Copies of this chain bind each other. A is one copy, B any other.
């Protein structure tokens, strides 16, 4: 069985094209991971997710530990078998969702206790328990438990929070069962403070991980601050390991982060926005709910080969969304995931060809336009 590996195949400035090898198959980077919260990428058959070009998806420890339960998933041979996704799966630690349960959770040095949003039952998540759950899920890539430092936070608050996350990272590493082709990623915290971010990178690198994530961004700080933080963080991260920007983001965020050397992304935006009628395209975002689409026979995105664009009109999609039809959620989700995968493919190709700067210029020019060449009705960022 091959080890968990990462090979760079091309670079262009800070941007990289690479290949992660795992026990469940390879991942070409930069990669966008569709979010499969509760054992399903919402409104998509697994085969359709794969058809968009996705090689890896994300599963949520918090949701799966509560329902159907980690041991239940383990009894079915892991999450891959349970949901019929044979490719790589990255699971989060559960921390982010638990920390979001305002009023329902308590954090201390050992970990976090919380009440289920489903039935109010009490649960505890420690670094060790999070790793154990992710083992039950048979995660290809396991994430350490961390605290997503709230925004805004003072330098002192962000520092204390980051240092506890680093202690949790060491405990996570100790609890992780090394197996060929499986990986464990650490998570850089430190808020918007460059010195804390670099301190966090140093501590994680001392522990040693198969990949390094940037956490605690896209939490309200805005794109400019997020990119400044990446500028201060990414160059300090080990170059020979995958770099994963968690929970990001809009297409323009992905483009900017790839240019800064990020290799992996996840975000609910394409799936959640799709269910709400928002479509992402090369020419900006469109809200298909808007009445201007009611009589529009054009495809959502003439450049896209997904079933929504290939087989249907904007008017039909508008109708489905207005009528709250499940098919509307299905088609819009498919399109957005296809767009995100196509975007990653294009970013890889541009990087490999040494023309990323030109690609980004064109991308930024086009993003302000909708499919008709007009200004988009939804701000792209």
Contacts and interface: CB of A to CB of B under 8 A. Distances in A.
Interface of A: 38-40, 42-47, 67-68, 72, 75-76, 82-84, 294-295, 297, 307, 311-313, 315-316, 319-320, 322-323, 325-327, 329-331
Which residue of A307, A312, A322, A327 has the most chain B CB atoms within 10 A of its CB atom? A327
The 8 closest A-B pairs by CB, nearest first: A43-B326, A40-B327, A68-B319, A84-B311, A38-B323, A40-B325, A42-B326, A326-B329
A229 B42 CA distance: 45
Contact of A316 (B39, B43, B294): B39
Contacts of A84: 311-312, 316
A83 B330 CA distance: 14
Nearest to A331: B45
A315 B72 CA distance: 9
A50 to B, nearest CB: 12
Contacts of A315: 68, 72, 76, 82
B297 A76 contact: yes
B42 A72 contact: no
Number of copies: 2
B68 A294 contact: yes
A329 B329 CA distance: 12
B72 A294 contact: yes
Contacts of A72: 294-295, 315
A40 B75 contact: no
Given A294-B68, A295-B72, A45 B327 contact: yes
A82 B351 CA distance: 40
Contact of A327 (B44, B307, B320): B44
A67 B320 CA distance: 10
Nearest to A83: B316
17 contacts: A39-B319, A40-B320, A42-B326, A43-B326, A43-B327, A45-B331, A68-B315, A68-B319, A68-B322, A72-B294, A72-B315, A76-B297, A76-B313, A83-B316, A84-B311, A326-B330, A330-B330
A250 to B, nearest CB: 23
Contact of A46 (B39, B67, B75, B311): B311
Nearest to A316: B82
Contacts of A330: 43, 45, 326, 330
A84 B299 CA distance: 13
Contacts of A319: 38-39, 67-68, 82
A311 B46 CA distance: 9
Contact of A42 (B76, B325, B331): B325
A74 to B, nearest CB: 12
Given A42-B327, A44-B327, 6 more contacts: A38-B325, A45-B307, A47-B311, A68-B319, A84-B311, A326-B326
A255 to B, nearest CB: 29
A332 B52 CA distance: 23
A86 to B, nearest CB: 11
A82 to B, nearest CB: 6
A83 B316 CA distance: 7
Contacts of A322: 67-68
A307 B44 CA distance: 12
A325 B67 CA distance: 12
A327 B333 CA distance: 12
A312 B84 CA distance: 7
Contacts of A311: 46-47, 84
A323 B67 contact: yes
A201 B295 CA distance: 43
